Amino acid sequence: MAVEPGVADPDSDAEPAHYTLRVGEQRLDLNARLGEPLRLVWHGNIFCIHCGRRTRKSFAQGYCYPCFKSLAQCDTCIVKPETCHYFAGTCREPAWGERHCFRPHVVYLANSSGLKVGITRGTQIPTRWLDQGAIQALPILEVDTRQQSGFVEMLFKERVADRTNWRAMLKGEVEPLDLSAQRDRLFAQLESGFVPLRERFGADAFQRLDQRPRRFRYPVLEFPRKIASHNFDKQPEVAGTLLGMKGQYLMLDSGVINLRKFTGYEVSVM
Classified as helix, coil or strand, 12 is: coil
**Shared-domain flag, residues 178 and 223:** no
Query: Which residue, 100, 121, 146, sits at the end of a domain?
Result: 100
pLDDT of residue 203: 86
**Shared-domain flag, residues 209 and 245:** no
The count of domains in the chain is: 3
**Shared-domain flag, residues 174 and 211:** yes
Dihedral sign for Cα atoms in the order 117, 108, 138, 96: negative
Residue 119 sits at the vertex; the CA angle it makes with 202 and 264, to the nearest 5 degrees, is: 140
* Domain of 93, in residue numbers: 71-100
Classified as helix, coil or strand, 134 is: coil
The answer to whether the CB of 246 falls within 8 A of the CB of 169 is yes
**Shared-domain flag, residues 120 and 211:** yes
**Shared-domain flag, residues 124 and 96:** no
**DSSP letters spanning 181-235:** HHHHHHHHHHHHHHHHHHHHH-GGGEEE-----EEEE--BS---SS--B--TTT-
pLDDT for 13 beyond 80: no
Residue 137's alpha-carbon distances to 151, 183, 235, in angstroms, are 20, 11, 35
**Shared-domain flag, residues 147 and 198:** yes
pLDDT for 25 beyond 90: no
Ranges assigned E (strand) in the chain: 2-7, 14-23, 26-29, 37-46, 105-111, 115-121, 136-143, 206-208, 214-217, 237-246, 249-252, 255-258, 265-269
pLDDT tens-place string over residues 128-147? 999 999 999 999 999 999 99
**Shared-domain flag, residues 107 and 208:** yes
**Shared-domain flag, residues 107 and 209:** yes
Q: Specify the pTM.
A: 0.92
**Shared-domain flag, residues 32 and 78:** no
**Shared-domain flag, residues 176 and 160:** yes
Distance from C-alpha of 121 to C-alpha of 103, rounded to nearest angstrom: 8
Give the amino acid at 185: R
**Shared-domain flag, residues 14 and 88:** no
pLDDT of residue 12: 53
pLDDT of residue 2: 60
Using alpha carbons, select from 92, 77, 19, 36 the residue that is nearest to residue 259.
19
- Window from 25-29, 38-42, 114-118, 182-186 with minimum mean pLDDT: 25-29
Q: Packing angle between helix 179-201 and helix 146-156, nearest 10 degrees?
A: 120
- The dihedral over CA atoms of 169, 232, 80, 164, expressed in degrees to the nearest 10, equals 10
**Shared-domain flag, residues 93 and 110:** no
Mean pLDDT of 199-225: 95
The answer to whether the CB of 205 falls within 8 A of the CB of 194 is no
pLDDT of residue 5: 74
